[in-house]
Amino acid sequence: MPNDPEAWWRESSSNRPDYTFAIRRLDTDGFCGICNVHVDWRIGTSTIGIVLGTAHQNQGLGKDGLRTLIRFIFAHIGSRKVKLRVFAFNSRAIHVCQGLGFQLEARYRQEIFRWGQWHDVLDMGLFAQEFIDPQGSIDDGIMTSTGTLTDPIVTT
């Protein structure tokens, strides 16, 4: 046992591996992309990411997948806050995130070089109370929903 078990636990739990989920179509079960969560258990935040294959973009899967992932985080992981990072030129991702209730928290100026120029990078954040979810509402961090977590397209 380490000298300071609590410090060891805090350190190891904050380094716990991410959750990674496949995004599949309900009708064909075809693989469309992945989304992932990194939980910081010490401060109660979850940082997420998502990527769909090009052929699967712009069909509503991203918003559905993110919504499902965020429901899982608030209802089952119990984070206070969900965070993500997005390139400022990624107007589609920003539009989707804003539609889910994400707020701009930080702008890192000229962080990434693409297509011959520098672009800003944005950090966005979402508290449970801000989450826009047509399937249910969140009260004090506990989600009440008319749907179930088995409904949506995200499966392990």
Ligand X SMILES: CC(C)(COP(=O)(O)OP(=O)(O)OC[C@H]1O[C@@H](n2cnc3c(N)ncnc32)[C@H](O)[C@@H]1OP(=O)(O)O)[C@@H](O)C(=O)NCCC(=O)NCCS
Q: Which range in 11-19, 36-44, 45-53, 125-133 contacts ligand X by CB under 6 A?
A: 45-53
The distance in angstroms from the start CA to the end CA of the chain is 33
What is the DSSP code string of 86-104?
A: EETT-HHHHHHHHHHT-EE
Cβ pair 118, 111 in contact under 8 A: yes
Q: From the list 12, 13, 20, 58, which residue makes contact with ligand X (rule: CB under 6 A)? A: 58
CB of 83 to ligand X, least distance (A): 11
CB of 149 to ligand X, least distance (A): 19
Q: Which range in 14-22, 44-52, 74-82, 100-108 contacts ligand X by CB under 6 A?
A: 44-52
Among candidate residues 26, 27, 25, the one with its CA nearest the CA of residue 55: 25
**Closer to ligand X by Cβ: residue 61 or 138:** 61
Per the DSSP assignment, residues forming a β-bridge with 35 are: 21, 50
Q: Which range in 8-16, 61-69, 74-82, 115-123 contacts ligand X by CB under 6 A?
A: 61-69
Binding status of residue 129 toward ligand X by CB under 6 A: no
Cβ pair 97, 124 in contact under 8 A: yes
**Binding residues among 85-124 for ligand X as defined by CB under 6 A:** 86, 90-93, 95-96, 99
How many residues sit in the footprint of ligand X (CB under 6 A)?
Answer: 20
Q: Report the DSSP pairing between strands 117-127 and 154-155.
A: unpaired
Q: From the list 34, 38, 41, 52, which residue makes contact with ligand X (rule: CB under 6 A)? A: 52
Give φ, ψ of 83 to 5 degrees: -130, 155
Find the helix or strand (DSSP H, E) in which 8 lies: helix 5-14
CB of 3 to ligand X, least distance (A): 40
- Residues near ligand X (CB under 6 A) are 33, 50-52, 57-63, 84, 86, 90-93, 95-96, 99
